[in-house]
Amino acid sequence: AYSKKKWTLQYGAISIRVTFMSLNPKFPCLRTDVMMVTPWLAPIVWDGSFNIDILNAQFHQRGVRIGLTVFAIKKYTVFLKIFIETAEKYFMVGHKVCYYVFTDRPQDIPSFSLGEGRTLNVIEVTSYKRWQDVTMRRMQIISENCLKRFIYEVDYLVCSDVDMMFAGHHGVEMLSDVFAAIHPGFFQASRKQFTHERRPESQGYIPEDEGDYYYTGCYFGGKVEEVYKVANFCHHAMMADKAKNMEALWHDESYLNRYFLYYKPTKLLSPEYVWNNYYGSPVYVKIKRFLHVDKDFEKIRSN
């Protein structure tokens, strides 16, 4: 049942020919067309790389509680309905889930009928005039709530953009001490093409010859203690730049990438977990689990 095969692994511009013993086809937990592990041995989650029954049993045994944070500030409240409705269908089904909806318009949040073991908390926050500040200040609010609330209520946190809809399974295979998702526009890109912040004066700075992957700012998470460290770092980096009248190229996403360069994620999510139809349908992405909802930027970001 076992045979020797030659496979090619791709890491940025480097491709390596390797010989593997092929695994029992009944447990095909290996993909040979994509990179499945980082050079620091963190798994990269792709369809076909895990057995969900084993994982569910493990997480149920621990009675794990998962928080999902999402911000719906100003006009972005319109995205919430489809976000929550599709999360009910696909996000951590069968586990204990706590949604945390941060908004400046609590009266505009509809009520949802939720599955068993799932709750939704609406938390009122103040808004900012510039959309860039709205997106960046999420880090401050997340870090503060880690200490005030999340640490007492959940084990893991998943932090997401709201202009998204779930379209496929998002389960406990995602969870790890600290995880990040590869941005769908950059999983085949080389280091040179990553749109990191390149000004050395910025706290988001990543030198040209560094940077492992380009991570999206719209989806990350981990244990509450770890998410606290991520969010706290990003918020302080942003404030230090602000004091110098600077703002990193892609806002919170740039600071997040800087954090993960020196404090590597323990698990990576493939772009299946944050797809955007703008990038078409490459063969590697066999399932699009999470999709950007199209938006009229000018309309939705205007005050």
Alpha carbon 27 to chain centroid distance?
27
Beta carbons within 10 angstroms of residue 177's beta carbon: 14
3-state secondary structure at position 44: strand
Strands (E), 138-271: 156-160, 164-166, 178-182, 215-223, 267-269
CA dist 245 and 106 (Å) reads 32
- Applying CB under 5 A, among 163, 212, 241, 253 the residue interacting with Mn ion is 163
- Applying CB under 5 A, among 86, 134, 161, 213 the residue interacting with Mn ion is 161
Q: What are phi and psi of 26, to 5 degrees?
A: -70, -20
What single letter denotes the amino acid at residue 144? E
Question: Smallest distance, Å, CB 44 to ligand UD2?
Answer: 18
Q: Which does 45 bind (CB under 5 to 8 A by kind): ligand UD2, Mn ion, none?
A: none
Q: Give the binding site for ligand UD2 (CB under 6 A).
A: 71-74, 76, 131, 134-135, 161-163, 183, 216-218, 250-253, 301
Is the CB of 49 or the CB of 132 nearer to ligand UD2?
132
Q: Which does 134 bind (CB under 5 to 8 A by kind): Mn ion, ligand UD2, none?
A: ligand UD2
Alpha carbon 50 to chain centroid distance?
18
Q: Is 76 annotated as ligand-binding?
A: yes
CA dist 88 and 110 (Å) reads 15
Stretch touching Mn ion by CB under 5 A, among 66-74, 109-117, 127-135, 159-167: 159-167
Question: Smallest distance, Å, CB 217 to Mn ion?
Answer: 8
Which one is catalytic: 208, 253, 272, 298?
Answer: 253
CA dist 199 and 250 (Å) reads 13
Q: Is 195 annotated as ligand-binding?
A: yes
Is the CB of 197 or the CB of 253 nearer to Mn ion?
253
Q: Is 20 annotated as ligand-binding?
A: no
Question: Smallest distance, Å, CB 92 to Mn ion?
Answer: 21
Q: What are phi and psi of 20, to 5 degrees?
A: -120, 155
Is the CB of 96 or the CB of 211 nearer to ligand UD2?
211
Question: Smallest distance, Å, CB 206 to ligand UD2?
Answer: 15
CA dist 153 and 157 (Å) reads 10
Question: Smallest distance, Å, CB 114 to ligand UD2?
Answer: 20
Q: Is 78 annotated as ligand-binding?
A: no
Q: Is 296 annotated as ligand-binding?
A: no
CA dist 195 and 248 (Å) reads 11
Q: Is 163 annotated as ligand-binding?
A: yes
For this structure, is 253 an active site residue?
Answer: yes
**252 with 235: CB under 8 angstroms?**
no
Binding-site residues, in ranges, read 71-73, 76, 161-163, 183, 195, 253
In the complex, which residues of this chain contact Mn ion (CB under 5 A)? Answer: 161, 163
Catalytic residue annotation: 253
